[in-house]
Amino acid sequence: MSSGATPSPCLRDVRASTAWVLSEAAARGSPAVSIDDAAIERELDAHRELYSASALPPSWAADYHFCDGTDLTAQYVLVLDACNFCFWPLEGYEYSDLAGSLKAVLTADPKAFDADKLANIDEDTLQQWLQPTPTGTFRLSQHPIAVARREGKPAPAVVPIPLLAQRTRAVRELGTALQRFFDGKAANLVRAAKQDAARLVELVVAHLPAFRDETLFAGRQVFLYKRAQILVGDLWGAFQGSGLGAFDNISELTCFADYRVPQLLRSVGIMRYSDALAAAVDGKQELPAGQSSGEVELRAATVQAVERMVSALQRRGVALPPFQLDWLLWERGEALLDKLAPHHRTMTIFY
């Protein structure tokens, strides 16, 4: 959190509602997830260099991201994060495939993400856009779109993309909102926030329903806003904290509660699952979005575990905002992917 600043209502609600979920579950006597504070200290002791004051967040990967430093990069980031959810139903399909495929589209046609085209995109076109590379590791030259362009052929749909209808609707929503309110430009949406990260989260949630990541627990509303927050973080990374990526209060962002971070935190003992939840996750059973108390507790605990890690680091004299710590944890989880127990599985547009 930025010192001396008043926390924004939306991000204050994320912190308060996720903390309430854990306290309510504990009060009922059978929490699905708990946080081990001693394990946090052990983790920070064991990896002092990783969590040191000199630790830098992973760079925004230019190999699979489009990043030209202009307004077009903002257009790319919004399209990317409109589609940035639920990869697990397609074995081997990763975030780098999504980001790289959209980079290939925009590299081939700089007008592809014009708002009027986004507002009218159909499922067949989006499926073509999102095809992974044959190698499974993104290389722009190997992407089906790039290959088809070289050979003068239409790019074939190779694999069915998960939740294609929902992704198509999210992209159409984005194009329509940009046309209606921001003269077709994602950069205008970003500028409307006036370098206020929390305000941008609020604008995104207000104008784009697919980013409205809210749920219920025990009859009370819980706020998470994973994709709206990661969009702000992505802009900060893409523009290296300047220009359209300059936000005065970027440290207000919470972590981005998804699959990989809780998977890693569980592996190091920071997050502990009940026997029932552990059996469901390890058995790769789907946890219905918003209908399973375990799924809501798991996401809430992810936010709170990272908050506690941030506090523990502060006591050690290390200032690492939650969103940067999230990036470090996510990168570490990606590197250890083959060694980790399964992540939870939820069919959702929110992460």
As annotated, the active-site residues are 258
What are the φ/ψ torsions at residue 216 (nearest 5 degrees)? -120, 145
d(CA 203, CA 207): 6
Please name the residues in contact with 217: beta carbons below 8 A apart, sequence gap of 6 or more.
21, 24, 293, 296, 297, 300
Give the tokens for residue 185: 């430009």
Q: How far apart are the first and last CA of the chain?
A: 23
d(CA 114, CA 119): 9
Nearest in space to 38 (alpha carbons), one of 272, 258, 217, 227? 272
185 within 8 A of 75, measured Cβ to Cβ: yes
Nearest in space to 99 (alpha carbons), one of 135, 134, 139? 139
CA 249, 254, 259, 260 torsion-angle sign: positive
82 within 8 A of 129, measured Cβ to Cβ: no
Nearest in space to 338 (alpha carbons), one of 264, 253, 258? 264
The partner residues of 217 in beta bridges, in order of sequence, read 220
Nearest in space to 271 (alpha carbons), one of 237, 309, 218? 309
